[in-house]
Amino acid sequence: MNQSSTRRFVTPFILTLLASTWLLAQNAEQNAADAERVIKALEIRAGSVVGEIGAGDGALTIAIAKAVGATGRVFSNEFNKDRLAEVVRAAAKAGLGNVTAIEGREAETNLPDRCCDAIFMRNVYHHFGDPGAMNASLFTSLKAGGSLAVLDFGPPPGAESATPSGRSQDGHHGVTPAAVERELKAAGFEVVSASEWPLRAFMVVARRPVVECPELARNQTEISPPKP
């Protein structure tokens, strides 16, 4: 391989590596930006009940807990027990009494049924080995009309994994917005929006329908109250 060919090969490789590193390492500024995106997209306000899946060190959990206030609640889900302990410590340090730590599981949220007005996750979806099961659990954990935000990043161009189990592997790391939308729809969600920003990052927002049986809802509206 000549020097020119080497440069052509190395440059895209380095750019891909730098993009992946940037996506996986959030600083305070990026955490603040993502928290703002989540709050706006999911219409989070004082009193909201929110779940985070794969909370990591708890940076976004803490930001959202401050946004929902003392009348709200954040269920902070994390698979790694050491990280879950970090979330508990971070909430205590911030003086927050509205955070409930939940041990994560591979294919379910481990949250109470219909507990949340909104659920979000960041750079977690591409790790789901069984997205169908997890999406069904997410659906169950949301109240009717509740919203879900998936923040993640796409794989290197042209390197999308053919199976969910390959999405966290080197060379295929990431998931496409189209795949997330398709899998959420299969679980019964309505996709509300999809947005992208530089370095392959994106956010898909979906909603559990308010009315999940249109035929039943139509019949109910046709029934008139008895006349006096």
Residue 25, pLDDT score = 53
Residue 211, pLDDT score = 84
Q: What tokens does 90 get?
A: 């971070």
Residue 10, pLDDT score = 36
Domains of the chain are 36-222 (3.40.50.150)
C-alpha–C-alpha distance, residues 47 and 109, integer Å: 21
**Binned average pLDDT, 10 residues per bin, the chain of 228 residues:** 42 39 67 97 98 97 98 97 96 98 96 98 97 98 98 95 94 96 98 95 97 51 39
Residue with tokens 């000549």: 2
C-alpha–C-alpha distance, residues 83 and 86, integer Å: 5
How does 11-45 read in b/e, with b if 16+ C-beta sit within 10 Å?
A: eeeeebeebbebbeebeeeebeebbebbbebbebe
Residue 67, pLDDT score = 98
Residue 152, pLDDT score = 98
DSSP state of 85: H
C-alpha–C-alpha distance, residues 95 and 91, integer Å: 6
Cβ neighbours of residue 163 closer than 8 Å, sequence gap 6 or more: none
Residue with tokens 């909430």: 91
Residue 212, pLDDT score = 67
Cβ neighbours of residue 82 closer than 8 Å, sequence gap 6 or more: none
Task: Read off the amino acid at residue 149.
Answer: A
Q: What tokens does 69 get?
A: 């206030």
Q: What tokens does 49 get?
A: 């009940």
